[in-house]
Amino acid sequence: MSVMTENVGLSATTGTWAIDPTHTTIGFSVRHAMVSKVRGNFSDFAGSATIDGANLAASSVEVTIQAGSIDTKNADRDGHLVSADFLDVENFPTLTFTSTDVAVTGADVTITGDLTIHGVTRSVTVEFEYIGTSLDPFGFTRVGFEGTAKISRKDFGLVWNAALETGGVLVGNEITLVLDVEAVKQA
């Protein structure tokens, strides 16, 4: 059961929303060689949210990401990430997220859901900040959220790694998800 404090701005966003992929970033970062972070994102995804302003806990979110759209600004690395060593896009072409719980406290929205990567499903909680709602110059109502979550890549069966001569491993286990979401009201 969700504990929540009503957010007047968010409760006024009742309706169905489609994620705007041209104004949304689904990104991530992971430690590389124990000394820096590699950042990337996915460029091909679709999703929707249904917000119930009268009962925010009844709201829901669904997102499907094309795993092969991963982009870390390095073609060789991206080729390795889509291979069987990591995402194995030939056998697991999509990543999905389906919410199971929504809780709201002030401007903070906590969405817990089933994240499936590499054929493995785990419960993940994403902490979002509700940025606001606006009417654009073309008459479309838009809503914005910024969120983060940390996941273990090993929990999803992504275990490939290489030992470093100086100790440690090439790829860190913890992945930080960074989500900047803008959605357009559909109904």
- In whole angstroms, how far apart are CA 5 and each of 12, 47, 109, 143, 168? 14, 26, 10, 19, 44
Residues 6+ apart with CB under 8 A from 44: 21, 65, 66, 68, 69
Per-residue pLDDT, 56: 83
**Separation CA 80–CA 162 (nearest Å):** 13
Instruction: Express each pLDDT in 61-107 by its tens digit.
Output: 999 999 999 999 999 999 999 999 999 999 999 999 999 999 987 77
Instruction: Tell me the C-alpha distance between 66 and 89, whole Å.
Output: 9
Three-state secondary-structure class, residue 103 = strand
Q: What is the pLDDT of residue 5?
A: 37
Q: How far apart are CA 1 and CA 132, in angstroms?
A: 26
The correct CATH number of 8-185 out of 2.40.128.110, 1.10.10.10, 3.90.660.10, 3.40.190.80 is 2.40.128.110
Check: CB of residue 96 under 8 Å from CB of residue 115: yes
What is the band of 16 on the pLDDT scale with cuts at 50, 70, 90? Answer: very high
Domain borders along the chain are 8-185
Residue type, 43: S
Residue 30's pLDDT band, with cuts at 50, 70 and 90, is: very high
